[in-house]
Structure 1
Amino acid sequence: MAGVAAVSALSLAACSQGSGATTVKPKNQESASVQAASGDAPAPFDQPGVRVAIVQNSGQGDYFQQYLNGTKQQAAALGIDLSVYDAQGDNATQATQLDQAISSGVQGIIVRHGFPDTLCPGVNKAIDQGIKVVIYDVEIQKCAPDAVQTQQSDNKMASLVLDKMAEDIGTGKPVGYVNVAGIAPLDRRDVVWQEYLGENDWTQKFKTGKFTNSTATDTAPMVDSVLKSNPDVVAVYAPYDELTKATLSALKQNPSLQGKVKVYGADISTADIELMTNPDSPWVATGATDPNAIGAAVVRTLALHMAGELDGLNVEFPPILVTQDFLRSEGIKNMDDLRAAEPALNIADVSSADWIPNVTF
């Protein structure tokens, strides 16, 4: 897909810069359109040259690539000069890059994923210097109470999928779990998982998973090992699409489990849609938002914050349930097809104002 390819190229450029940033001058990508603003922009957006940085923990994987695509396009629509810092999964590097972003003279910063312990000193430093900061998917406000925190509604996302899993497999069944502790959205989904385990009398036969800059590749052998030791599981919950991909890869290494294990995941992309709709695919349901739309919405949230117009310090983005049956019955092949079939994925009205040219996917 053109948008993903462009973002991949951007990620490579960022890598070549070492710990520095890449200045982004985006082109139109991923079937986006821009709704023109009808109102006059307030300061600082009434003048050109507004500078913003995104400091991301990792840019690898379908979700993160789409998110950055949405970030780039909404920033371009607002006339923002955007710099991208990619720590490639290294927490210490992300903290260093946050300091670099602060020193670069930006007026706003988006911090995407990471850990409060390493990020809070930099976040508070930025706020103390008058830089507006918006966080995505980090539980930051206990140590940085003045930061704006944004996130998907992870409780809802997990509940939608686990309701479907309970409907499909019933109660009292052996199940597997592929997740990683310490990642804010995955921790929130874990809380819901623990509730459903008890309510449905499921027996968790294993928990495994690893969060790296190559999560799917690094986790697949771990899932393969536990599947071989626990061939009686009837379902696996893997609440991040790179973990879901790892589970699918591991199941391919265990042909005796073909047709016996259902997989329930999270997130959606064109690559995920292809995996879900493949013949004999075990991935039957996922909880999803459009990462492009969320990336754009977070930029709008920062813009409102910079303009002094943001109402509150917390913004959540609602998910939907996407099932394999739905994708197949509607002939959905890619994200454009899914957006057409599920208008709820378009959240252009979230964090919006008449002076903001909204990017719609």
Structure 2
Amino acid sequence: MRNTKTLVAGIAGVSMLLLAGCSQGGTGSTSTTTPAAAPAASTTPVAAAPAPFDKPGVKVAIVQQSGQGDYFQQYLNGTKKQAAALGIDLSVFDAQGDNATQATQLDQAIASGVAGIIVRHGFPDTLCPGVNKALKQGIKVVIYDVEIQKCAPDAVQTQQSDAKMASLVLDQMVTDVGTGKDVGYVNVAGIAPLDRRDVVWNQYVSKEKWNQLFYTGTYTNSTATDTAPMVSNALRANPGVAAIYAPYDELTKATLSALEQNPDLKGKVKVYGADISTADIELMTAPDSPWAATGATDPNAIGAAVMRTLALNMAGTVAKGATAEFPPILITQDFLRTKKIRNMVDLRAAEPSLNISDISSANWIPAVTF
């Protein structure tokens, strides 16, 4: 009944290995997606599901800090598709980037009678009271990309391998521009995945003897729009940078926009980012695009994998406090152009490793693909 086939499962507290990325924004209201609302699963389960999934209509909520932006929209699509395949009645709470609202919505989710909750992005100070309240009431909680282990150690933690994501891209940056160069940095402190990437960035700055001329950026419900003028101002003050690292695709988009506002720098600055979407692919492959490389996963697959992790947790096959980490791949502009990749469908066909339907799975879970 509980014969799982997870590749690296978080049973008895052992870390699980999965896959992920980062982005943002949303609708503020609470919506419910019934099982019939999303596409059907691509894989038929071979075993009867354990409780509570032996009956349809299990109530689950996702409480997200923000749902706007390519990555977050794809992530939610994957979450919905996997929930539908499991017969889950999924409620979506979107705080639109407001931390106090996210805390309130977490309380609302708890009060709604759900059996499981995914908490996606946000801040420990505002989320830990609600997470611990849910756990105390017997609600299973899976966290995605929030550093919450210290204040809510019994929650299951999922996150991308941000250190790997950063190192893949920065290794490519070293290859492309070399050591001892003037560089720029676009990031925001206080966001868990961006903080993890920041640690690696600082290691590379020291090791490669890069001279960081500026550090700018902001995280809002319109990150790309709000960050672009900040980067443009930084470029006007520091036109000699050879490369810029912007480790989140909304920040990368802001950087590209800023470079367009500084035409004198055309062809002189390379940009290195994170995450991938059809819109990102179009930006990377556009003529004269400075976006040279990105570290990424398929956010649809991540959303589905986190939902499967919650299902395993609810079925009793994941230990308290287990951690699941999702490894990324490197995607370069040259690769996209050579393979004539124009969208996520093309990319998935060219990079099958992005499909992680066999990770955090079981023979009773109909894993979905994209």
Q: Name the TM-score class by shorter chain.
A: over 0.9
Q: Secondary structure at the match of 2:164?
A: helix
Residues 1:77 and 1:33: Cα distance change in structure 2 (over 3 Å): closer
Residue 61 of structure 1 is matched in structure 2 by 69
Deviation at 1:99, TM superposition (A): 0.5
AA in 2 matched with 1:187: D
Q: Distance in 1 between matches of 2:307 and 2:38?
A: 16
Query: Superposition RMSD on alpha carbons, in Å?
Result: 1.2
Q: Percent identity?
A: 77
Q: Secondary structure at the match of 2:288?
A: coil
Unaligned runs of 5+ residues in structure 2 are 1-24
Q: Secondary structure at the match of 1:63?
A: helix
AA in 2 matched with 1:315: A
Match of 2:360 among 337, 351, 354: 351
Match of 1:48 among 26, 46, 56: 56
Q: Does residue 182 of structure 1 match 2:190?
A: yes
Q: Does residue 265 of structure 1 match 2:286?
A: no
Residue 329 of structure 1 is matched in structure 2 by 338
Q: Distance in 2 between matches of 1:304 and 1:266?
A: 29
Q: Does residue 94 of structure 1 match 2:110?
A: no
- Which whole-Å deviations, capped at 9, do the CAs of 1:135-191 have from their partners, x for residues lacking one? 000011110000000011100000000000011111100000000000000000000
Deviation at 1:350, TM superposition (A): 1.1
TM-score, normalising length: structure 1:
0.94
AA in 2 matched with 1:202: W
Deviation at 1:349, TM superposition (A): 1.2
Q: Secondary structure at the match of 1:359?
A: coil
Q: Distance in 1 between matches of 2:343 and 2:61?
A: 30
Q: Secondary structure at the match of 1:360?
A: coil
Alignment of 1:125-164 (within 5 A): 125-164=133-172
Residue 33 of structure 2 is matched in structure 1 by 24
Deviation at 1:33, TM superposition (A): 5.2
- Which whole-Å deviations, capped at 9, do the CAs of 1:174-214 have from their partners, x for residues lacking one? 00000000000000000000000000000100000000010
AA in 2 matched with 1:220: A
Q: Secondary structure at the match of 1:176?
A: strand
Unaligned runs of 5+ residues in structure 1 are 1-10
The answer to whether the 8 A contact 2:160-2:325 is kept is yes
AA in 2 matched with 1:204: Q
Residue 341 of structure 1 is matched in structure 2 by 350
Whose RCO is larger (CA < 8 A, sep 6+)? 2
TM-score, normalising length: structure 2:
0.91
Residue 211 of structure 1 is matched in structure 2 by 219
The answer to whether the 8 A contact 2:82-2:304 is kept is yes
List structure 1 segments (4+ residues) > 2 angstroms apart after TM superposition.
25-29
Q: Does residue 316 of structure 1 match 2:325?
A: yes
Q: Secondary structure at the match of 1:54?
A: strand
Q: Does residue 104 of structure 1 match 2:99?
A: no
Question: Number of residues paired by the alignment?
Answer: 344
